[in-house]
């Protein structure tokens, strides 16, 4: 049986589904989750909130998720209010809604690769042409080249990812500012995907600071900053992503969002998690410490390591055979990620003991492959 025998859209025939392996292993360090489960007080509070929400499940939820958006605006600060914020089932759904409104047949989106592969996949799933822009050899983005690519291709949407996945590279505000200006010149929207922002090293500015600047000639600003509760907030299973933008952008997204897309249980869970923001974000420093430990140890081993502002590390494989090393490390019960870039692998920072398991597995695997 082959789904291609079904009358699926022609433009979907060459696609493959997103497929990070979900293998049951002792050390899953492949999808950039937070290794710490929600704290017990939050779990207890979640049970209470979900129980309360359950009593009204015969009714549809608040279609506009107003209370949650207000809480998210308070968390983000930067003078943002409920009208600037939108929420959905994971930032992937946010990205899909953006592409449904601003992309689609006859339109195009550009991203600078390597970057988060779902930008391309969601573009293609919404029949938006995908344009592959390039990063530099050290995975930074050259502002002049990005501007030239935007002017040449005249895309409808520009994707920037900072800190970038899979490389961990954060972007200078000047680069984002230059891209926003160029995008404005061709009438494009700019999406800055900040899924990993909370893990950035001190001094890394958020694109949120550019929102007030990004307003051309009294028209709505075209800058959209996306975030998620899946990483720093340790809530990947709850599926909550959000964005901040000009209120007109949110009005536009209402055109495509499914009615009642965010369940009452999800809204209750997300609002409860936000009440525990201090405890939840308390794990961020521990994760960053393990990330820095990985960077330090791999560098000491003589590996090529990309500086990281995220909760993962992208590194070069001696000899270049990343598939062989990935398998060896997996044989030790540690699942890391081969994103398909030759000679490179990505590992998520775990707890101290998970990180130790990875480092031990890596050292033993390198010795065997030597
Ligand atoms: N953006 C980036 C850069 C990501 O790496 C991810 C998840 N890996 C997402 C968005 C989507 O996250 P979620 O849908 O869980 O919010």
pLDDT digits (tens, 9 = 90+) for 279-330: 999 999 999 999 999 999 999 999 999 999 999 999 999 999 999 999 999 9
- Give the residue, 322 or 21, on which the prediction is more confident: 322
Q: Residue range 173-196: average pLDDT?
A: 97
**Residue 165 beta carbon below 6 angstroms from any ligand 1 atom:** yes
Range 259-271 average pLDDT: 97
Looking at ligand 1, which atom is closest to the CA of residue 230? 15
pLDDT surpassing 80 at residue 20: no
Confidence of residue 22 (pLDDT cuts 50, 70, 90): confident
207-258 per-position pLDDT tens digit: 999 998 877 777 899 999 999 999 999 999 999 999 999 999 999 999 999 9
**309 backbone dihedrals φ, ψ, rounded to 5°:** -110, 20
The structure tokens 């007080």 sit at: 41
Burial 45-66 (b: 16+ CB within 10 A, else e): bbeebeeebeeeeeeebeebbe
Helices 322-331 and 352-369: crossing angle in degrees, nearest 10, is 120
Q: Which two tokens stand for residue 82?
A: 């409920």
Residue 66's pLDDT band (cuts 50, 70, 90) = very high
Mean per-residue pLDDT of the chain: 96
Residue 228 CA: nearest ligand 1 atom is 16
Q: What is the rounded distance in angstroms from the CA atom of residue 263 to the CA atom of residue 89?
A: 9
Q: Which of 49, 61, 362, 365 is nearest to 235 (CA)?
A: 49
Query: Tens digit of pLDDT for each residue in 214-224?
Result: 777 778 999 99
Q: Which of 369, 368, 336 is nearest to 354 (CA)?
A: 336
Q: Is 193 in the pocket of ligand 1 (CB under 6 A)?
A: yes
Q: Check pocket membership of 339 for ligand 1, CB cut-off 6 A.
A: no
ipTM: 0.99
The reported pLDDT for the residue numbered 17 is: 84
pLDDT for position 368: 81
Query: Are the C-beta atoms of residues 20 and 30 closer than 8 Å to each other?
Result: yes
How far apart CA 68 and CA 125 sit, in angstroms, is 28
Rounded to the nearest 10 degrees, the angle between the axes of helix 117-125 and helix 90-102 is 50
**Predicted structure pTM score:** 0.97
pLDDT, residue 186, reads 97
How far is C-alpha 275 from the geometric centre of its chain's CA atoms?
22
Overall average pLDDT of the 263-267 stretch: 98
How much is the pLDDT for 216? 74
Q: Which two tokens stand for residue 15?
A: 């696609």
Q: Is the CB of 272 under 6 A from ligand 1?
A: no
- For residue 287, what pLDDT is reported? 97
When pLDDT is averaged across residues 37-65 and rounded to a whole number, the result is: 96
Q: Could you give the CA distance from residue 201 to residue 192 in angstroms, rounded to a whole number?
A: 18
Domains of the chain: 21-39+278-369 (3.90.1150.10), 41-275 (3.40.640.10)
Res 174: pLDDT: 96
For position 214, what pLDDT does the model report? Answer: 76
Q: E strands, 263-339, where? A: 312-316, 334-335
Atom of ligand 1 nearest to the CA of 196: 3
Give the pLDDT score at 370: 66
Residue 87 CA to ligand 1 center (angstroms) comes to 14
Q: What is the pLDDT of residue 292?
A: 98
User: Does residue 34 have its Cβ closer than 6 Å to ligand 1?
Assistant: no
Is the pLDDT at 333 greater than 80? The verdict is yes
CA distance 325 to 227: 32
Nearest CA to ligand 1 atom 6: 195
């Amino acid at each position: 049986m082959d789904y291609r025998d079904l009358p699926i859209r022609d433009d979907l025939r060459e696609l493959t589904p997103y497929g990070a392996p979900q293998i049951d292993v002792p050390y899953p360090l492949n999808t950039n989750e937070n290794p710490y489960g929600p704290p017990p007080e939050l779990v207890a509070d979640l049970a209470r909130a979900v129980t309360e929400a359950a009593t009204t499940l015969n009714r549809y939820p608040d279609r506009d998720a107003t209370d949650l958006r207000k809480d998210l605006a308070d968390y983000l600060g930067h003078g943002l209010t409920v009208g600037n914020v939108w929420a959905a089932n994971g930032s992937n759904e946010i990205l899909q809604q953006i592409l449904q409104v601003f992309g689609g047949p006859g339109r195009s989106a550009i991203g600078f690769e390597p970057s988060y592969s779902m930008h391309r996949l969601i573009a293609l799933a919404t029949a938006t042409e995908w344009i592959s822009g390039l990063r530099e050899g050290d995975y930074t983005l050259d502002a002049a080249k990005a501007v030239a690519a935007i002017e040449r291709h005249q895309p409808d949407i520009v994707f920037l990812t900072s800190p970038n996945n899979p490389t961990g590279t954060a972007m200078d505000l000047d680069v984002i500012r230059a891209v926003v200006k160029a995008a404005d010149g061709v009438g494009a929207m700019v999406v800055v995907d900040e899924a990993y922002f909370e893990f950035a090293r001190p001094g890394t500015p958020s694109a949120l600071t550019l929102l007030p600047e990004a307003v051309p000639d009294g028209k709505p600003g075209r800058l959209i900053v996306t975030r998620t509760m899946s990483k720093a907030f340790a809530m990947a299973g709850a599926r909550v992503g959000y964005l901040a933008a000009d209120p007109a952008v949110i009005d536009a997204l209402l055109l495509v969002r499914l009615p009642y897309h965010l369940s009452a249980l999800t809204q209750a869970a997300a609002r409860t998690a936000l009440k525990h923001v201090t405890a939840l974000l308390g794990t961020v420093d521990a994760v960053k410490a393990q990330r820095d430990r990985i960077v330090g140890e791999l560098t000491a081993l003589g590996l090529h390591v990309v500086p990281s502002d995220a909760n993962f590390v992208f590194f070069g494989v001696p000899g270049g055979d990343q598939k062989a090393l990935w398998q060896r490390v997996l044989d030790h019960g540690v699942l890391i990620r081969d994103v398909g870039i030759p000679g490179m692998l990505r590992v998520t920072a775990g707890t101290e003991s998970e990180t130790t398991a990875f480092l031990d597995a890596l050292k033993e695997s390198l010795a065997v492959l030597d």
